[in-house]
Chain A
Amino acid sequence: MSEKNFIENDFCITFSTVNGSGSATANTTIMRALFKMGIPVSGKNIFPSNIQGLPTWFSLRLSKDGYLARVEKDDIVVSMNPATLSKEIEYITNGGVLLVPDDYAVHDIRPDIIVYPMPIKKLIKDAEVAPGLRDYISNMVYVGILSQLLGIDLDLVYKALDFHFKGKLKAIDQNFNVVKSAFEWAQHNIEKRDPYTVKKMNGTDGCIMSDGNAAAALGSIYGGVQFSAWYPITPATSLAESLIEYLPEFRIDPDTGKDTYAVVQSEDELAAIGMAIGAGWGGLRSMTSTSGPGLSLMSEYIGLAYYAEVPVVIWDVQRVGPSTGMPTRTAQGDLTMVNFISHGDKNMIILIPGSINECFEFGWRAFDIAERLQTPVIVLSDLDFGMNQWMTKKFIYPDQPMDRGKVLWEVDLEKMLKKHSGEWGRYRDIDGDGIPYRTLPGNMHPKSGYFTRGTSHTEDAGYTEDPVIWETLFARIAKKFETAKKYLPNAIADYKQNAEIGIISSGSADPAVVEARDLLAKQGVKTNYLRIRSIPFNDEVGDFIFKHKRLVVIELNRDGQLHQLLTLSFPDAAAKMKKSAHMDGLPLTARWVEKQILENEENS
C-alpha cells in the first residue's frame, strides 16, 4: 500500500466484548495511549444493564480534526464475542478491518473486509498468566496487536497502564508483558493489508481526559460542596462516588483533622432529596445526584424547596426513560419533566452543560445560583457525558468568589433590624429583586428564628390562607426567575456570514451539531448555531430565534422537548421552528444531524 492511501488519525475502532471480562481496561488503555500521542479521541461505551456475560461495545473514534461525536460506521472491529460477530460485520465500513480470535468460526465474510486472526489462547498460554486472570488479560492481546498494526507507541501504552493501575508494578507488568508479546507476534506474523494508521500530532494540547461525573464532582468540590446525599442509580452513581473519592483530599480541615463535608448514602431518593434540602436550608452547600427514576421520586420535595425557597443542587444524569427504560443508554429525555417537576405552578432553574469542562464549571456555579436565588437548581447531564471518558480542556478555576446569597448572621440581622424599624421577615422582598433574606439555624439573634413550611405563609413566615397574601407572595417568587436570568450562563451563539439556517441544541448533542455544521458547510450550506445552557431562557435565545426564518431544534429524545419549551416561551416563532428529535439510546451522530438540516431545507 502506498503512503498516500493511508488513513491517518481519522477512523473508528469498535471493540466488541462481553461485560465483566475486563475489556474496559484494555479499551481505555488504547484510548489513553492515543490521547498521549496527541490524537483527539472520543470513546463511547455501549453497555448492557447487567454485570457479567452480556454483549458490550466500546467505540473509539480518532479524529485529527477534533470531532468527538459518535459515528455510525466502524472502520476496525475487534471482536471478542462470537455471539455478536455477524451483527458487527454489518457495521464495518467498505474495506474495513476485522480482528478476531483465531479459533472463531468466521464464515461467509464480506470479501471487502480484511481479517486478521489473533492467536489469543496461544499468546496467553505462553505468557504464563495465572488461570484466574486469563480472561481479563487476554484483552491485552488485542492491545498489543492493534498497537503494532496502527503504530501506537508502546511506551505510551505502558504509561496508560501505569495510570490505570495507579503505579502498581505487578499489575502493570503482567498486562504489559502480554501487550509486548502480542506486539512482537504481530510484527513477525501479520502482513499489514489495511490503510489505517496513527501518527503523533498535537491535537490534545492543554487537554485532559475525564468523564462528566468526575468533572461534576470536582466542580462541586471547587464550589465548596458541604453535603451530598445520594442513592445508587446508573448512570449517576459515579458522580457521588467521585465526591467520596476526591473530598478527603481537599476537605479535611488541617487545623482540626475534621471533615468539613458529609456524603450520605441514603435509603432511597425520597430521603436523598429530603436530606439535601434539610442541609441546604441549614446553610450548607448541598446537593444530590440521580437519574430520571430518582428524580421522579424527588419531585414532591423539590416543589417544597421551590415554595419554601431552599437552595439545593440536583444533578440529573439522564438515561433512557420512561420507567426503567434503558438504564445504561443515554438520552435527553428529562427536560420537560424537570421544567414542570412537582405539582402546582412553579419555575425551575435548569443548567445544561455542553462539555465535560462545563460539567466542572456548572458544578461550582450551580451552588452560587442556588444560594443567590434560594431555589433548587437542576443540572441536566446525561449518560454520554457522565460515564464516558472524554478529552476536554483542563478544568478552569472559578473566575469569581463564592456567592453565598442573602444570608443574615447575627450582626447582619441587627443592622437589618435597625434599618427597618426593628422588623424583618423571611419572605419580604426588601431589594425589589424578588429575592428575600434568610437566616440560618444556629443564628443566636433572638429574632433570627422562623418557621419554614410548604404550606401557605406570609412574608413573615406565619401560616395563612389569605387569598391576597398567597397571590402576592407567589407573584414575588415568580419575580425571582426574572432576576435569575442575569445569574445564569448565557446561551452561546455562533454566527456564520450569510447563514440563514439556525440550529438550536443543548448538552451532549453539541459534538454532533458542531461536526454536522462543518459537513454542511463543505456542501455550501451555512448554518448559525445556538447552544442553550440554561432555563429560563435568557435574551440571547429570543434574539437568535428572531433573527432566523428557519430553525431546527436538535435533541436526543422522542418528543422534541427542547422544541416544546421553546414553543411555549416563543409562541410566535412556533411555525418556523422544526422539531428534530431522535432517541434510540445512542449518542447523536453528525450524519443524522446533517440529514435533518438538509431535509428541512428541501421541505421549506
Chain B
Amino acid sequence: MTTQVAPSASLNLNKVGLSRNDYKGAPSTLCQGCGHNGIAAQIVAACFEMNLVPEKVVKFSGIGCSSKSPTYFLGRSFSFNGLHGRMPSLALGGMFADRTLKGFGVSGDGDTASIGIGQFKHLVRRNLPMVYIVENNGVYGLTKGQFSATAERGLMLKKQGTNPYLPVDIAMEALISNATYVARSFAGDPKQVKELLKAAIAHNGIAVLDIISPCVTFHNHENSFHSYSFGKQHEEPLHEISFVPARDEITVDDFEEGTTREVELHDGSHVILKKLEKEYDPRDRWQALRMLEEAQVNNWLITGLIYVSPETPSMFDIYNIPETPLNRTPDSKLRPSRESLDALNDKMF
C-alpha cells in the first residue's frame, strides 16, 4: 500500500525535526535476543514516525524484565518505574498532571496478569488514554524461570515441572473489562507491532497491546506458545494492518475493492486493515470475544487489531479536565479567595 507522506526537510529527520537517535534510550541490559528489545526498537520507530516530541511522552512501568525496558527507549522522556503490578495506578495519577502527554505503560505477564490484574482491569475500565504494552513471555525471567499466569497448561520448566493451570488471556481480560483498543502481536513480527503501536498512540483511550515476547533464557522451547519458533511458524494475523496519520490522504489504488476495512480513530487518523483469510471486523466486540475463545481452545496465536471503539469517552473527558495541563494551573486558580472562606464560615452552622 502507499500513503502520501509529506517529504521531510532531511530524510533523517521527522516533522518535528528529530532524528531516530533522539528517541533512543540507554543500551539494553536485557538478554541478547530478548523479545523486549525488539519491542523497544519498535516503540522508538513508532514514536519517530508519529512525530512525537519526547518531552511530550511519559513512560511508566512496574517490576520485572519488561518493566526495566523503558530505560531502553525515549531517554529524554520522563519516566517512572513503580511497584510490582501497580504501574496502572501510578500512571493514572501521573497522566492527570498533563493530559496533553502521551503515556506509555510497559508491563509484563507477571506484572499484569498476577499481582497487577486488578489494577490492570480497573485502568482499562476507566479508559485512561495511554498505550499499555504487556510484554508477554509466560515466565518470570528476573527471578530465573517460574511459571507466570499466562503460561499454557502442560508447559514444562526446568525447576518447576509441569504447569497444571490454564492461562490467563490478557487480551480477553482487557476486552471483558470494556477496553476500547485491544491488540495482540508477536515480537517476531516487528512491522505489525509498529503499526499497532502507531494506532494505539493515536487512540483516545486505553490501548492494550498483548505482545508475545519470547524469553530466550528461560522459556524458548520449540513448541511452547511464547517461543520464537512457535510464533514464527504459527502466527496467524487477522489482517494486514497499516496506520495512516490524520491529514494524510489515503490512496486505495493498491487495494482491490472490498479487500480492506478502514477504521477512523478519534484524531482523524485511520487504520487500514487488509483482509486475509477471514472477514474480521474489529468493531464487533462479540466477534472478538468468540475469536479469542477459539484461539485459546485451539492454542492459536492470532494477532492483529482485535477490538477498537474509537469514540468512547476517555477518563479525561469524563472528568471534565481542561486541555491546559493541570500541573501548570497557577496558584491563584488553586487557592480559593479569603472572601470565600468568610462566606464558608458563615454558612457552617
- CB-CB under 8 A from B93, the residues of chain A are 227, 229, 274-282, 284, 286
Which of A229, A250, A449, A455 gathers the greatest number of chain B CB atoms within 10 Å?
A: A449
CA distance A262 to B82 in the complex (A): 21
- CB-CB under 8 A from B91, the residues of chain A are 278
- CB-CB under 8 A from B58, the residues of chain A are 441
Q: CB within 8 A of A259: which of B80, B88, B319?
A: B319
On whether the beta carbons of A402 and B331 are closer than 8 Å, the reply is: yes
- CB-CB under 8 A from A253, the residues of chain B are 322, 333
Could you show 20 A-B contacts with beta carbons less than 8 Å apart? A35-B349, A224-B331, A227-B93, A227-B326, A229-B89, A250-B336, A262-B96, A270-B89, A274-B93, A274-B119, A282-B95, A301-B82, A404-B331, A442-B55, A442-B56, A442-B98, A442-B325, A445-B55, A446-B55, A449-B78
Q: A270-B89, A402-B335, A442-B327 are in contact. Are A449 and B344 (CB under 8 A)?
A: no
Let me know if B90 is at the binding interface, CB within 8 A: yes
- CB-CB under 8 A from B92, the residues of chain A are 229, 264, 271, 274-275, 278
- Within 405-451 of A, Cβ neighbours of B (below 8 Å) are at 439-446, 448-451
6 smallest beta-carbon distances between A and B, as pairs:
A282-B97, A278-B93, A274-B89, A224-B334, A283-B327, A279-B93
A83-91, A391-399, A544-552 - the one binding chain B: A391-399
On whether the beta carbons of B89 and A271 are closer than 8 Å, the reply is: yes
On whether the beta carbons of B119 and A271 are closer than 8 Å, the reply is: yes
- CB-CB under 8 A from B119, the residues of chain A are 267, 270-271, 274
On whether the beta carbons of A395 and B82 are closer than 8 Å, the reply is: no
| Minimum Cβ distance to chain B for residue A460 (Å) | 12
| Minimum Cβ distance to chain B for residue A342 (Å) | 11
CA distance A113 to B151 in the complex (A): 74
Q: A278-B92, A278-B93 are in contact. Are A208 and B349 (CB under 8 A)?
A: yes
CA distance A450 to B74 in the complex (A): 11
Which of B54, B76, B77, B341 gathers the greatest number of chain A CB atoms within 10 Å?
A: B341
On whether the beta carbons of B327 and A32 are closer than 8 Å, the reply is: no
On whether the beta carbons of B101 and A275 are closer than 8 Å, the reply is: no
Q: Which residue of A lies closest to B71 (CB)?
A: A451
The number of chain B residues with a CB under 8 A from chain A is: 56
| Minimum Cβ distance to chain B for residue A43 (Å) | 12
On whether the beta carbons of A284 and B335 are closer than 8 Å, the reply is: no
CA distance A151 to B101 in the complex (A): 64
Q: Which residue of A lies closest to B119 (CB)?
A: A271
On whether the beta carbons of A441 and B335 are closer than 8 Å, the reply is: no
On whether the beta carbons of B335 and A223 are closer than 8 Å, the reply is: yes
Let me know if A401 is at the binding interface, CB within 8 A: yes
Which of B58, B60, B100, B349 gathers the greatest number of chain A CB atoms within 10 Å?
A: B349
CA distance A463 to B77 in the complex (A): 16
On whether the beta carbons of B327 and A441 are closer than 8 Å, the reply is: yes
Q: CB within 8 A of A448: which of B55, B96, B334?
A: B55
Let me know if A222 is at the binding interface, CB within 8 A: yes
On whether the beta carbons of B334 and A397 are closer than 8 Å, the reply is: no
| Minimum Cβ distance to chain B for residue A467 (Å) | 19
Q: A229-B93, A258-B321, A449-B78 are in contact. Are A222 and B329 (CB under 8 A)?
A: no
On whether the beta carbons of B81 and A451 are closer than 8 Å, the reply is: yes
Let me know if A221 is at the binding interface, CB within 8 A: yes
CA distance A402 to B76 in the complex (A): 30
On whether the beta carbons of B326 and A454 are closer than 8 Å, the reply is: no
A residues with CB within 8 A of B: 32, 35-36, 160, 163, 208-210, 218, 221-224, 226-227, 229, 250-251, 253, 256-262, 264, 266-268, 270-286, 300-301, 304, 308, 364, 394-395, 397-398, 401-402, 404, 439-446, 448-455, 463
On whether the beta carbons of A226 and B319 are closer than 8 Å, the reply is: no
Q: Which residue of A lies closest to B324 (CB)?
A: A256
On whether the beta carbons of B335 and A277 are closer than 8 Å, the reply is: no
B residues with CB within 8 A of A: 53-56, 58, 60, 70-71, 75-83, 86, 88-98, 100-101, 118-119, 122, 319-322, 324-329, 331, 333-336, 338, 340-341, 344-345, 348-349
CA distance A413 to B119 in the complex (A): 35
CA distance A261 to B329 in the complex (A): 10
- CB-CB under 8 A from B334, the residues of chain A are 224, 226, 251, 260, 285, 402
On whether the beta carbons of A395 and B86 are closer than 8 Å, the reply is: no
On whether the beta carbons of B53 and A444 are closer than 8 Å, the reply is: yes
On whether the beta carbons of A449 and B327 are closer than 8 Å, the reply is: no
- CB-CB under 8 A from A281, the residues of chain B are 80, 90, 93-94, 97
Q: Which residue of B lies closest to A391 (CB)?
A: B349
CA distance A281 to B60 in the complex (A): 12
On whether the beta carbons of B349 and A274 are closer than 8 Å, the reply is: no
- CB-CB under 8 A from A226, the residues of chain B are 326-327, 329, 334
On whether the beta carbons of B80 and A278 are closer than 8 Å, the reply is: yes
| Minimum Cβ distance to chain A for residue B57 (Å) | 9
Q: Which residue of B lies closest to A444 (CB)?
A: B55
Q: Which residue of B lies closest to A275 (CB)?
A: B93
CA distance A224 to B335 in the complex (A): 5
| Minimum Cβ distance to chain B for residue A9 (Å) | 19
| Minimum Cβ distance to chain A for residue B303 (Å) | 30
On whether the beta carbons of A267 and B118 are closer than 8 Å, the reply is: yes
- CB-CB under 8 A from B97, the residues of chain A are 278-279, 281-284, 440-442
- CB-CB under 8 A from B325, the residues of chain A are 442
| Minimum Cβ distance to chain B for residue A48 (Å) | 26
On whether the beta carbons of A163 and B122 are closer than 8 Å, the reply is: no
- CB-CB under 8 A from B96, the residues of chain A are 227, 262, 278-279, 282, 284
CA distance A341 to B331 in the complex (A): 32
CA distance A264 to B119 in the complex (A): 13
On whether the beta carbons of A258 and B322 are closer than 8 Å, the reply is: yes
| Minimum Cβ distance to chain B for residue A283 (Å) | 4
Q: A282-B98, A397-B341, A446-B76 are in contact. Are A277 and B328 (CB under 8 A)?
A: no
Q: Which residue of B lies closest to A304 (CB)?
A: B83
Q: Which residue of B lies closest to A267 (CB)?
A: B122
On whether the beta carbons of A270 and B335 are closer than 8 Å, the reply is: no
Q: CB within 8 A of B319: which of A262, A282, A442?
A: A262
CA distance A448 to B80 in the complex (A): 14
- CB-CB under 8 A from B338, the residues of chain A are 397
| Minimum Cβ distance to chain A for residue B12 (Å) | 18
- CB-CB under 8 A from B86, the residues of chain A are 270-271, 274, 301
